[in-house]
């Protein structure tokens, strides 16, 4: 291939991957692989400048505006990209140049957040506009309303400057990302590959409420423009921004190449402990006057660079492949690895997800494999080293019988998602049951404090629990539980065992009053979780109303709702309906439901069965936060709905009232920023009595 062909090929590849990354939020290669392509193109264009073209990816910044969340906005200050460096020598060369051109410069080293770059504008202390990077030079997309939904975006700052523009990175924490993907699975929708993709797709959405639900965050890393105040250094701006309520990245102030490299190394070694993803370290000149002197090209500032960490990959051996059984009966293969240090933590196992993944990689017990951390977080096997494969190795096949109970395992392919699952067909499988009970007792389900894995294991081993309903009949065996110290630690005093036993039994009794939404989530039905439970409770009067419907009838109900123009079953599709029917039509499910009802567990919707007393709160939307003095949140919700009001989980510009109790958190701050009326429980009661 001649030089012109190679240049054309590189440009086509890079433009293709730019489109996948920026516009479709679905990258097909790693950042490191992309950077390698771009570096080769830059090197060739440097060597053959006569072949450089204005349309080359090396000559423009960012992506085209998409207009998804609003109109295009003109940039006051260009949002340039950074020149990437991949070795200590390259970083040292840049530092030497800065030291040569400037008088005794100091530097700042920061986390390079792997998110979406945005700019925020403030006038007289109020947030007035926000935009994406767009093409970086001329225009970005207006995302003002979406940015208002991010708790860490201050809507007001204390110093009322005529104008302030800051630049930051919107990101999603790893914990939030896992929750979002769990909800996507509940809806039967495609999951996101990584937090950055999810953030990029979310920030451009037309519905700000979705942005609020996904709990995005932002870190401000640069002051772009300011009127009414003077600054001399970058560190000074960061410290001032913190006082105004902004969150900024962790940073290190350095003066020598050695200090800078130590900071880069320290950031790299701590990647596994950071709650969000970073894709490098940024090195900046600290003095703002020095920055003016150094200037910028049409694409990058000359006073800053980004060091990109190579994906750390290591060889290790597959000691065994275990097959675990989850709460929904799914058989998940897990590679047990010879322990190896990766991105600051020791990796000793990696999920192989399903048989399709095993077949694609051809992973076998005894293989030497290449491992890395996907998005610097999740251990994954990248490839096998065929030359190191032991003789007589055999392909690994997930067994067609459950490894725990021996029941048949059936393959289940999901038509709208890649991959397939193999599930144990025995709903009373001990492995399934243990994890199901743990889920049933979890905070987002029935919230039974004290019913953890160790206690569950003892209760099952001793024959006290054989299904979910048995939990509510444990009180009949109180004395036996105390005598056998089921809830006690080894060598515990009988008085302590009695106390912990009664505490658990009381928690079980309290859980009977939980909402139908929580009960549905607690059942652990495949593809049905908290969100689905909420939608179902809003529509159906009780659990029994759902048990009577076939798959076809579920679809007819939804179709009828859509024809009426309502959104009562919005978000529920064929996969969820099929899962519900499969669950409710099992004979053992009917028996469990009858025993739960007989034990006094709430099976009715608190929303569709509440007596409507009047419509005094008609049109008002409430959010509840904190601990109320007299009412539980569910009781307060019922009270509001009984008077025609609506209760939602997230604060937005559509919220009418926030009812705040003790230890109210970020929802209170957000409501205050949006100008939402704040009520106490007493205010709410007084409002109802005055109607």
Active site members = 112
Residue-by-residue DSSP string for 164-232: EEEEEEEE--HHHHHHHHHHHHHTT-PPPSSHHHHHHHHHT-S-HHHHHHTT-EEEEEEEEEEES---S
Contacting residues for 306 by C-beta, under 8 A, at least 6 apart: 82, 83, 84, 85, 112, 280, 281, 282, 283
**Nearest in space to 275 (alpha carbons), one of 125, 377, 403, 149:** 377
Look-up: residue for tokens 């190394």?
265
How far is residue 416's CA from residue 431's CA, in Å, rounded to a whole number? Answer: 28
Look-up: residue for tokens 């902004």?
246
Phi then psi for residue 460, to 5 deg, are: -70, -45
Measured at the CA of 292, the angle between CA 289 and CA 295, to 5 degrees, comes to: 150
Contacting residues for 574 by C-beta, under 8 A, at least 6 apart: 188, 551, 555
**Helix (H) or strand (E) run with residue 120 in it:** strand 116-123
Residue 684 tokens read as 């709410």
The dihedral sign for the CA sequence 645, 648, 653, 654 = negative
How far is residue 472's CA from residue 465's CA, in Å, rounded to a whole number? Answer: 10
**Nearest in space to 604 (alpha carbons), one of 545, 528, 531, 532:** 545
SS3 (DSSP) at 671: helix
What is the b/e burial string over 542-558, where b = at least 16 CB atoms within 10 angstroms of the residue's CB?
bbeebbebeeeebeebb
CA 520 to chain centre: 23
How far is residue 608's CA from residue 534's CA, in Å, rounded to a whole number? Answer: 12
Q: How many Å is the Cα radius of gyration of the chain?
A: 29
Long-range contacts of 516-521 (CB under 8 A, 24+ apart): 516/540, 516/542, 516/543, 516/602, 516/603, 516/604, 516/605, 516/606, 518/444, 518/445, 518/446, 518/447, 519/445, 519/446, 519/543, 519/596, 519/601, 519/602, 519/603, 521/444, 521/445
């Amino acid at each position: 291939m001649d030089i012109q062909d190679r240049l054309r090929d590189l440009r086509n590849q890079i433009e293709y991957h730019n489109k996948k990354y920026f516009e479709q939020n679905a990258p097909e290669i790693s950042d490191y692989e992309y950077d390698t392509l771009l570096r080769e193109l830059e090197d060739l264009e440097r060597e053959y400048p006569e072949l450089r073209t204005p349309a080359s990816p090396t000559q423009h910044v960012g992506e085209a505006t998409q207009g998804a969340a609003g109109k295009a906005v003109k940039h006051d200050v260009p949002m340039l990209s950074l020149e990437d460096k991949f070795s200590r020598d390259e970083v040292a060369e840049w530092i030497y140049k800065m030291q040569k051109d400037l008088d005794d410069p100091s530097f700042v080293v920061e986390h390079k957040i792997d998110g979406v770059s945005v700019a925020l504008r403030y006038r007289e202390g109020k947030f007035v506009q926000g935009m994406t990077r767009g093409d970086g030079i001329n225009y970005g997309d207006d995302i003002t309303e979406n940015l208002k939904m991010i708790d860490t975006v201050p809507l007001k700052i204390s110093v009322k400057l005529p104008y302030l523009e800051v630049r930051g990175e919107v990101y999603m924490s790893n914990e939030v990302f896992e929750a979002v993907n769990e909800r996507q699975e509940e809806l039967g929708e495609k999951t996101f590959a990584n937090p950055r993709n999810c953030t990029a797709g979310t920030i451009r959405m037309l519905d700000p409420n979705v942005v609020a639900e996904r709990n995005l965050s932002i870190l401000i890393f640069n002051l772009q423009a300011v009127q009414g105040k003077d600054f001399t250094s970058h560190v000074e701006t960061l410290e001032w921004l913190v006082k105004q309520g902004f969150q900024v990245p962790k940073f290190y102030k350095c003066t020598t190449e050695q200090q800078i490299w130590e900071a880069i190394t320290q950031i790299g070694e701590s990647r596994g402990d950071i709650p969000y993803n970073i894709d490098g370290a940024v090195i900046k000149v600290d003095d703002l006057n020095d920055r003016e002197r150094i200037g910028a090209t049409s694409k990058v500032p000359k006073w800053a660079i980004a060091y990109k960490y190579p994906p750390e990959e290591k060889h290790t051996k597959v000691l065994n492949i275990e097959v675990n059984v989850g709460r929904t009966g799914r058989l998940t293969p897990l590679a047990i690895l010879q322990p190896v240090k990766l991105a600051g933590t020791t990796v000793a196992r990696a999920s192989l997800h399903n048989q399709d993944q095993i077949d694609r990689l051809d992973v076998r017990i005894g293989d030497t494999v290449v491992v890395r951390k996907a998005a610097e977080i999740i251990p994954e096997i990248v490839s096998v080293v065929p030359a190191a494969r032991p003789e007589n190795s055999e392909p690994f096949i997930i067994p067609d019988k459950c490894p725990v109970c021996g029941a048949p395992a059936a393959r289940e392919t999901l038509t709208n998602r890649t991959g397939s699952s193999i599930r144990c067909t025995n709903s009373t499988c001990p492995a399934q049951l243990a994890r199901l009970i743990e889920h049933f007792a979890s905070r987002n389900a029935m919230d039974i404090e004290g019913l953890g894995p160790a206690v569950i294991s003892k209760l099952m081993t001793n024959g006290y629990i054989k299904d979910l309903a048995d939990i509510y009949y444990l009180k009949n065996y109180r004395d036996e539980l105390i005598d056998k110290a089921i809830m006690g630690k080894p060598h515990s005093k009988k008085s302590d065992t009695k106390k912990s036993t009664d505490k658990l039994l009381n928690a079980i009794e309290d859980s009977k009053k939980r909402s139908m939404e929580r009960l549905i989530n607690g059942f652990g039905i495949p593809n049905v979780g908290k969100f689905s439970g909420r939608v179902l409770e809003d529509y159906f009067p009780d659990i029994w109303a759902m048990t009577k419907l076939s798959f076809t009838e579920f679809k007819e109900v939804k179709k009828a709702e859509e024809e009426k123009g309502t959104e009562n079953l919005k978000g529920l599709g064929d996969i969820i309906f099929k899962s519900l029917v499969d669950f409710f039509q099992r004979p053992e499910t009917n028996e469990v439901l009858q025993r739960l009802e007989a034990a006094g567990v709430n099976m009715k919707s608190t929303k569709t069965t509440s007596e409507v007393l009047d419509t005094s709160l008609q049109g008002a939307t409430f959010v509840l936060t904190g601990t109320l003095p007299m009412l539980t949140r569910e009781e307060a919700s019922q009270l509001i709905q009984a008077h025609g009001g609506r209760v939602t989980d997230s604060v937005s510009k559509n919220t009418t009232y926030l009812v705040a109790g003790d230890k109210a958190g970020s929802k209170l701050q957000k409501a205050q920023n949006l100008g939402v009326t704040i009520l106490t429980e007493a205010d709410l009661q007084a409002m109802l009595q005055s109607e």
